[in-house]
Structure 1
């Protein structure tokens, strides 16, 4: 899975990174401190030993705790298409893999134990499913699930780092990105992913990746080469 050398990042207590993306997939291992990562996949509390594998163009933000954090990162194959979160049994062994034996990353992840995820309100799951499914107004979804629109917006922003509207766009973008390697036309992809039309898909894709869907598709192979994927500013 691994395709590059590891690098460490250090973050001071109370630091925050707003929602951002990396053009290539990568794995992160928390070495010290703690932080909360928020994305369309939900909040993840990261402590020493937590490992996260991010797909290419995964949108997430980070808020670091009172001890700050040290994190080691390593690029991985761009064929990763879902977020993976797990907990290493032994931090030292995991660090050795990240630093010295990246070829063993797959084995390390398979041997890791599940990560304890945040408990969220019961209405979150059907709310998110409604966002994915269509264009039902956020206020209508909230009322149907027994919460106010204002409360729903605050709660979703706090848990996922995005407003409901941006979260809906993110789900649509992910759906379209997953279909780009196929032979479907871009117009069909736009319709199937829930965009108004191909132009709408193009605008969103450019805003996220810096490239058109056609250019992004050209950079995606059956076994993707991260070097061919346009960078994110």
Structure 2
């Protein structure tokens, strides 16, 4: 887990919102004060003082800030630092960790070794079932929702509150993550597109360019480079 830049602070005012967005590089964010909820395909992450959030590259998320707003210290990390999902941790001593973040960000791995995973909020079982159904099938979202005993309107409102995106956007995000995972293997790009649920290779191309800023072939080379480096370091 190697930082590639200096730590920098961000501040958001009370009641502010950040629409769903993504960063091209993985990064870590340490919450200093206030509170906010980060919503993504991984569900809602309540963030409070002492929460350390790890974001993988190209992770899409939005933020809703509470009555006090919030400030955080952020560190950009080397590509390939994390998995596809974001995770949240509770640090042991906010003051000490904040000082290390700003002065010695290369010690991030040590900080994580002393942190504990933050428990995720409980959500109704049907929401997780619906997300899996949307990712794995071509059925209309309304049909999947009704099969779980939920109206399409209620499903749309509930998923938007929990995950920060509409059901259709969540389906696209799940397929993008699947494609990102498959690009680390040897499947031809046309087969990656089909396996991830895209209409065709051109559809995959458009999504990758929109989310990663490069073609699928170039992104695959970048992933391969990171994989080879990790193997060399492990050896």
TM-score (norm 1): 0.92
Pick which of 178-187 and 68-77 moved more: 178-187
Secondary structure of the structure 2 residue equivalent to 1:219: helix
1:24-173 alignment, distance < 5 Å? 24-79=25-80, 80-81=82-83, 82-173=85-176
CA distance in 2, matches of 1:18, 1:97: 30
**106-115 or 191-200, which deviates more:** 106-115
Which residue does the alignment assign to 2:208? 205
In structure 2, distance between residues paired with 1:110 and 1:123: 34
Structure 1 residues without counterparts, runs of 5 or longer: 225-233
Shift of 1:114: 2.2
Task: Please tell me the root mean square deviation across aligned C-alpha atoms, in Å.
Answer: 1.6
C-alpha distance in 1 between matches for 2:210 and 2:106? 34
CA shift at 1:119, angstroms? 1.8
**1:7 counterpart residue number:** 8
Measured in 1, the distance between the counterparts of 2:79 and 2:212 equals 14
Partner SS for 1:195: coil
Q: Larger helix proportion, structure 1 or 2?
A: 2
Counterpart CA distance in 2 for 1:132 and 1:94 is: 38
Structure 2: distance between partners of 1:117 and 1:182: 31
Q: Give the structure-2-normalised TM-score.
A: 0.91
- How many residues align? The count is 225
* 1:164-203 correspondence runs (5 A): 164-203=167-206
Q: Distance between the aligned counterparts of 1:182 and 1:144, measured in 2?
A: 34
Cα contact 1:181–1:222 (8 A) shared by 2: no
* Residue 200 of structure 1: how far off its partner (Å): 1.0
Per-residue CA deviations over 1:26-48 (Å, capped at 9, x if unaligned) read: 00000011111000000011000
Q: Which residue is 2:232 aligned to? A: none
2-structure distance, mates of 1:107, 1:145: 44
